[in-house]
Structure 1
Amino acid sequence: MATGDLDFQASSRELYDLLLKPAAAQLVGKTNLIIVPDGPLWDLPFQALQDGKGKYLIEQAAVSYAPSLTALREMRKKAMARKPSPDTELLAFGNPIVGNETRTRVQRVFMSEKLEPIPEAERLVNELGKMYGPKRSKVFTGADAREEVAKTESPKYRIVQFATHGILNNVSPMYSHLVFAQNDKNPNEDGLLEAWELKDLDLKADMVILSACDTARGKISNGEGMIGMTWASFIAGAPTTVATQWKVESSSTTDLMLEFHRGLLSKPRISKAEALRRASLKLMKMPKYRHPSYWAGFVLVGDGS
């Protein structure tokens, strides 16, 4: 499905019958589903499973994920304890200029990573800046999208969006990282915000959005779910993380994220999970984005309210 395979429907329906059909009676009328995956099911986009009539699960209900019931309870406690910060609503980073030293460090371990510019990410965060307005948001792109800025500014905002390259380290998930511009005058920062560094930030955010490749993936740990960028975001203090299950196409990401934020700002208020659902459905109705590879890779982990 992630590769755009046109023959995904048979597998999608087979998995629906195996995993969801036994609970079909209990799912009738439910508009919000929380899924606690186990093992390899973390890699499965439940929202894109199809019933016998060809309807995707996300057409029936908003879908969110939780590492465990214990973690979900803690995430909800954090969400309830949050106080609104209307003047510091959104912080967004996009399309950083990747320095040669940073590029070399990454390619030494991940030889296939080219870290090409991502102009769509820059368009995304600039559009978000306009959407939220200059008084309620701050946007950093290009050479200004530096690692140390992310560390110092992120604790001040309600929503933090990273539209940068994300690299999954399968061997050591806490060394998975987001790629930023590097400040040559600061030898302590290498332009790579690793998961272990993210978890040490004192975030006050309601939500962290990782609109980069493979940010929802990591190492599976009993009782804690997936260990990686999403887990690091939760430990840092964010009760909700939106991340990706596979390498996402940049133009569809921009369109989906803009729709998602419009949902977050809509009146009357809707839940974060419902905002993501509506954004996914909007893309699904566009002929060029109909395939689940464009919209099903985004998952909401944690408190979806």
Structure 2
Amino acid sequence: RELLRMGVPLGQKKEQSNFPEKPFSIYDAQKLSLKGSDEVLLKYCVLKDMTYLFVVSKKNIVTIKINLVGDDLEDMIVSLRDPIDKLQNITDTSAFYKSLEEVDLNVANTLYNSLIEPAREYIKGARVLLIVPSGVLSYLPFEMLVEKVGERKKNTDVIFAEFSDSTYLTEEFSVNYAASAKKFSKKGGISLSQFKHDLSGKLLSIGDYGGLAKDLVTVFGKDTKILKEAEATKAGFKELAQKFPFVNISLPVWIDDDISRTGIIFSEQKNNRILSELLNAYELYSLNSDPKFFVLDNCEYNLSSYKKDNGIEYLLNSLTGSGSSAVLNLWRLDEKTAGDFLKEFFSLLTETTSTSDVVDVMSLTKIKLKQAVKELGSSPHKISYSHPYFWASFVLEGRSYHQ
């Protein structure tokens, strides 16, 4: 049943299946999901006692057994993320930096060797990796996986400089994600050319994480519809979202194995009380009657999310219905970092003159930020954005462009 859910053909007759239609197989993926020979699809199937990787290119379909199983993967991903996830409870700057220094690139290297290296001969020369994760892998930005750990020499003048000499996956590939291989076969979606036309009044922004909405006005014009968190209601959002192709959401996200309890949390003050309403995955999916481009820039997952394997897939499927695509952060960022990333991303989208896909612009944004060294106000020190915290969190879900 799990293999069927992942789209692996097992030869069952249609009437014996619990599915209303034939599962989208890896053979369908080879024919329909790949746009060209420069794309390779990596489809992971994480089970309790085994993990499989299906590598799909225009020339090959290969099945690889991975040496890490569900519990081992969860332990490693939690270990890798823990210093970043702890930041939600840290307010002191020095403690903030100290926690980030604990991110273990050796764990990122072990994950690279287990999840990517076995497919090396089949992805060599590819430009884009189309990744379909499974379970806890949905919480891992593959771009931060490390092919080679550097010497990590510290620089007394530049904070996090020791993260700059390691080799990350993002330096070799653009990465596009989807909850299922079938999502990559969808036609339509948001094309890069739409970012080059008049965008005035095309954006609905809910919440205002770190003043980001004001920055987006410089891209989408003064007619951008902005609702501060206190003004945003579930009913109002559902009505307005139908009218805008670009939707920025700065509200908390709740993940649960029950699809009706997975979604975006709206808070409304009534009679001196804060009332919360959940826009669940079903309702979010219904907003995708026309393709949209969603940006979730303030995802704050509940602490038990890693155990909710199906919940994250529910959320991603609801965001990418009807050919829609989404950018969301896999861990919560401080306001400045989130703003820096999205301002760079949207700026590159509107300025580019190439025929690149949005996934390539996402990759370029990560690389530019990774190379950045920024001033720290009046401090004599500078800060290197080479640490994955600053550039790896945002991921692109769903097809963003079709030629």
Flag whether TM exceeds 0.5 (same fold): yes
- Deviation by residue 1:140-167 (Cα, 9 ceiling, x = unmatched): 2243333333211111222111022x23
One-letter code of the match for 1:160? V
1:242 aligned partner:
327
- Deviation by residue 1:46-94 (Cα, 9 ceiling, x = unmatched): 1101112631111112111121222322xx2242899969555222122
1:152 to 226, 239, 264: 239
Q: For 1:80-95, what aligned pairs fall within 5 Å after superposition?
A: 86=198, 88-95=201-208
1:108 aligned partner:
none
2:399 aligned partner:
303
SS in 2 for 1:30: coil
State the structure with more CA Rg.
2
Q: Residue 23 in 1 paired to residue 108 in 2?
A: no
- In structure 2, C-alpha distance between the alignment counterparts of 1:279 and 1:251, rounded to whole Å: 16
Contact persistence 2:143–2:392 (CA under 8 A) = yes
SS in 1 for 2:333: coil
SS in 2 for 1:51: strand
Q: Residue 71 in 1 paired to residue 71 in 2?
A: no
Query: Structure 1's 13 and 81: CA in aligned 2 closer, same or farther, altered over 3 A?
Result: closer
Query: Structure 1's 88 and 271: CA in aligned 2 closer, same or farther, altered over 3 A?
Result: farther
Query: Structure 1's 13 and 264: CA in aligned 2 closer, same or farther, altered over 3 A?
Result: same
- Deviation by residue 1:203-224 (Cα, 9 ceiling, x = unmatched): 4243111112256978445xxx
Contact persistence 2:132–2:179 (CA under 8 A) = yes
2:385 aligned partner:
289
Query: Structure 1's 173 and 51: CA in aligned 2 closer, same or farther, altered over 3 A?
Result: same
Q: Residue 178 in 1 paired to residue 178 in 2?
A: no
SS in 2 for 1:127: helix
Query: Structure 1's 282 and 145: CA in aligned 2 closer, same or farther, altered over 3 A?
Result: farther
- In structure 1, C-alpha distance between the alignment counterparts of 2:191 and 2:219, rounded to whole Å: 26
Q: Which has the higher contact order (CA 8 A, sep 6+)?
A: 1
Q: For 1:157-236, what aligned pairs fall within 5 Å after superposition?
A: 157-164=244-251, 166-182=252-268, 184=270, 190-214=276-300, 219-221=308-310, 226-235=312-321
SS in 1 for 2:176: strand
- In structure 2, C-alpha distance between the alignment counterparts of 1:247 and 1:174, rounded to whole Å: 23
Contact persistence 1:157–1:205 (CA under 8 A) = no
**Structure 1 unaligned blocks of 5 or more:** 96-117
- In structure 1, C-alpha distance between the alignment counterparts of 2:171 and 2:221, rounded to whole Å: 32
- In structure 2, C-alpha distance between the alignment counterparts of 1:238 and 1:184, rounded to whole Å: 37
- In structure 1, C-alpha distance between the alignment counterparts of 2:215 and 2:371, rounded to whole Å: 22
1:38 aligned partner:
134
Query: Structure 1's 27 and 63: CA in aligned 2 closer, same or farther, altered over 3 A?
Result: same
- Greater CA deviation, 7-16 or 195-204? 195-204
1:132 aligned partner:
220
Query: Structure 1's 167 and 63: CA in aligned 2 closer, same or farther, altered over 3 A?
Result: same
SS in 1 for 2:313: strand
One-letter code of the match for 2:281? A
- In structure 1, C-alpha distance between the alignment counterparts of 2:130 and 2:281, rounded to whole Å: 25
- Deviation by residue 1:12-53 (Cα, 9 ceiling, x = unmatched): 111111221222233333221111112322222211011126
Pairwise CA RMSD? 3.1
One-letter code of the match for 2:177? Y
Contact persistence 1:146–1:182 (CA under 8 A) = yes
Using the size of structure 1 for normalisation, the TM-score is 0.76
Query: Structure 1's 20 and 227: CA in aligned 2 closer, same or farther, altered over 3 A?
Result: closer
1:253 to 338, 341, 366: 338
* Deviation (angstroms), 1:297: 1.8
SS in 2 for 1:180: strand
- In structure 1, C-alpha distance between the alignment counterparts of 2:349 and 2:237, rounded to whole Å: 22
1:61 aligned partner:
173
One-letter code of the match for 1:71? K
Contact persistence 2:183–2:399 (CA under 8 A) = no
1:11 aligned partner:
107
* Deviation (angstroms), 1:267: 2.9
**Structure 2 unaligned blocks of 5 or more:** 1-79, 85-99, 150-165, 373-382
- In structure 1, C-alpha distance between the alignment counterparts of 2:193 and 2:184, rounded to whole Å: 19
Using the size of structure 2 for normalisation, the TM-score is 0.59
- In structure 2, C-alpha distance between the alignment counterparts of 1:80 and 1:249, rounded to whole Å: 28
